[in-house]
Chains A and B, each alone.
Chain A
Amino acid sequence: MKHTISVLLQNKPGVLSRVTGLFSGRGFNIESLSVAPTLETDVSCLTLVTAGDNNIVEQITKQLHKLIDVIKVTDISEFEFVEREMALIRVKAEPSTRAEILRICDIFRGRVVDVSAKSYALEVTGTCDKVQAMIDILRPIGIQEIVRTGTIAMTRASKKY
């Protein structure tokens, strides 16, 4: 099962490699990962999506917590949460497909961020599933390039832990 884990860590050199080294060294998998500073300048928030049975995820959270630079580990999937991912997608745009592309973009509440004679670059934000759905629908039209961020996530305020 997929788990979204949020890790608050001290913003020091090498911290990220402590986290990724832990995953590779112990054979845990990382499906996606994103890191950015938080309100506190010396604290970063790392969101990672991993898969595994409950035992593995329990080990992952414990091992993460054991790292000296880690402040807090939350398996967000245990709570109600919102998650977002963003993708930039460049699609081949012929006169015959332009309208269709824009309509799809609209349905997914995407935006056109770059236009050329032969292509559109679209931006879409949403859950991993939504982003994937848009990619799947655009694929037959001709996707030239995709760049996706990792998932970021936050627990819902009403169910604050």
Chain B
Amino acid sequence: MKITGAQALLKCLEEQKVDTIFGFPGGAVIDLYDEILASDKLTHVLVRHEQAAVHAADAYARVTGDVGVALVTSGPGATNTVTGIASAYMDSIPIVVFTGQVPTGLIGNDAFQEVDIVGITRPCTKHNYLVKNVNDLVPTIREAFYIARSGRPGPVLIDLPKDVMASRIVFPEPQQVKMRTYRPTYEPHPGQIEKACRAILKARKPVIYAGGGVILSNANEELTQLARNADIPVTMTLMGLGGFPGTDPLSMGMLGMHGTYYANMAVANCDLLIAVGARFDDRVTGRVDAFAPHAKIIHIDIDPTSISKNVKVHIPIVADCKHALTAMNTWFARSEEFTAAAEKENHLAWLKQIAEWRAAHPLGYLEEPGVIKPQFVVQKLHELTKGDAIITTEVGQNQMWAAQFYHFNHPRAFMTSGGLGVMGYGFPAAIGAQMAAPDRIVIDIAGDGSIQMNIQEMATAMQYKLPVKIAILNNGYLGMVRQWQELFYDKKYSATPLDVAPDFVALARAYGAVGLRATKPSEVEPVIKEALATKNLVVMDFVIAREEGVYPMVPAGKATTEMLLV
């Protein structure tokens, strides 16, 4: 029996175990929407802007560990997805984005709502396709899902001309995807594992530097085992938070530009740096030649291009983090040279040194009577959710305060646009996360600027009864840019004061949501408690210290030891 391309696509989604997609319709995908209406297996979440569909799919993927899916129409629908795709690409998040396209016969004609989205997204997708022949449709979709979720994950885009959706085919039998040109390496080289383990045995001042790869490969337990067994302190990147318990005594929190004093000092003075699923981003390294200058560097990464790209690596291990860490743990378990007691002894002085750094400059902030400090809000959120919420963030100071003060103990609980830094990511991401985890508390820690970039999604949250909580750290500024202007541009606040802003509480009510406001410290806890007790979308407007800064801070281009402190 022959079915249409649109029907085949839905069958493919079912085959890939996709039950939720985020999208927005238009002429080019109307055939697909016709099928979606008829399907009882697929939940479609109608967003209010296509960018939000992609961010929501991104967060859905992060929470579930599987592929997120977005569907949009041609032309403007497709171009609106670019920011979301680029963000997922930078953060290695597996998503598949379906875009409508004008009929094949019109491609290249500057037809109505035609855009070369495959050309536009070539540099920000892991791979992309234009399906010109309906016979290629199903194999392409299978390949796309395989590529998105395997190796170093990433976004894949499939462009679907309208006539291809209407053409008929016999649905091909399910088949394992086998590609001649793409075979990621999962298993580490045993020789490299041995070298790495021997380097750990020799080290007296080791540091584990864990990135998003630990979370993507579900390697948090293996990492925790290694760190605790060999008594190695751990620092995490923004993307790596939750990959190791943030409240563990061995955790030094985040490193880099807004990392802790002790994490940055530890990296600068370590004799062995064990990078796991991290990519030596400039926000982490600061001035490259001053980054871990005395250290031998082990780098575990599934993507060979990440290795020795920014910083020369001594022991490269191209592998999936989970596989590599398992191999290391096994090597230690079998080795007669390794004992946990000896490692403890070996690192005693080092951990004492780190404790001294921590005592000298703990992560903190100055309290001011009568004024809400943003860090206090994040601490209260942590306390009142027992550290168990899924936190998404916008971008700017709000993002850094969330990263610093919500001590993530579990992976897949922190969603932020790390690599691209997209203002407007957090709220749609919270919607995606809540769809993936209906019973969890999901909070978007937001800035007053960023939240306005996708605030229209309040309608989406209301439509699907998603009880997302938005905590706006309202400083009346594009705060992070203001902070740079304060520090490096003589306090000339060009275009950063948000002099005109909506009344967020009234705005929430306009959408049928709940709006709450706190203007003094004593109101913070009651507002959060009320929000958590409310089974509805809630906007919490925290009017915070206007010119609070994020500290520590490593000025761009400086060594990570040259920190501005609280």
Chain A positions within 8 Å of B, measured between CB atoms, are: 9-10, 13-14, 17-18, 21-22, 25, 55, 58-59, 62-63, 65-66, 68-71
Contact = CB atoms under 8 A, between A and B. Distances in A.
Interface stretch (B19-27, B122-130, B558-566): B122-130
Interface stretch (B160-168, B304-312, B352-360, B539-547): B304-312
Contacts of B455: none
Nearest to B156: A68
A39 to B, nearest CB: 15
B122 A18 contact: yes
A17 B127 CA distance: 13
Interface string B100-138: 000000000000000000110011001100100000000
A13 B130 CA distance: 9
A62 B305 contact: yes
Nearest to A42: B180
A58 B123 contact: no
Interface in B170-190: 179-182
A71 B180 contact: yes
A56 to B, nearest CB: 10
B182 A68 contact: yes
A70 B181 contact: yes
Contacts of B50: none
B147 A58 contact: no
A59 B122 CA distance: 19
Given A21-B122, A21-B123, A69 B181 contact: yes
A14 B122 contact: yes
A66 B305 contact: yes
B181 A66 contact: no
B303 A17 contact: no
A68 B119 contact: no
A68 B147 contact: yes
B305 A68 contact: no
B189 to A, nearest CB: 16
A17 B123 CA distance: 10
A14 B147 contact: no
A14 B121 CA distance: 12
Listed residue (A14, A17, A71) with the most chain B CB atoms within 10 angstroms of its CB: A14
Given A62-B305, A63-B305, A68 B127 contact: yes
20 contacts: A13-B130, A14-B122, A14-B130, A17-B122, A18-B122, A21-B122, A21-B123, A22-B123, A25-B123, A58-B308, A59-B309, A62-B304, A62-B305, A65-B304, A66-B303, A66-B305, A68-B126, A68-B147, A68-B182, A71-B181
B288 to A, nearest CB: 12
Q: Indicate the member of A10, A25, A68, A69 with the most B CB atoms within 10 Å.
A: A68
B302 to A, nearest CB: 11
A55 B308 CA distance: 8
A63 B123 CA distance: 12
Nearest to A66: B305
Most buried by A among B127, B305, B308: B305
Contacts of A17: 119, 122
Nearest to A24: B123
B7 to A, nearest CB: 26
A10 B181 contact: yes
A72 to B, nearest CB: 9
B185 to A, nearest CB: 11
A24 to B, nearest CB: 9
A59 B305 contact: yes
B127 to A, nearest CB: 4
Contacts of A69: 181
A25 B125 CA distance: 13
B122 A68 contact: no
Nearest to B132: A13
A9 B181 CA distance: 8
Contacts of A13: 130
A112 B368 CA distance: 88
A18 B179 CA distance: 18
Contacts of A65: 304
Q: Which 10 A-B pairs have the closest CB atoms?
A: A68-B127, A62-B305, A71-B181, A25-B123, A62-B304, A68-B182, A63-B305, A66-B305, A21-B122, A21-B123
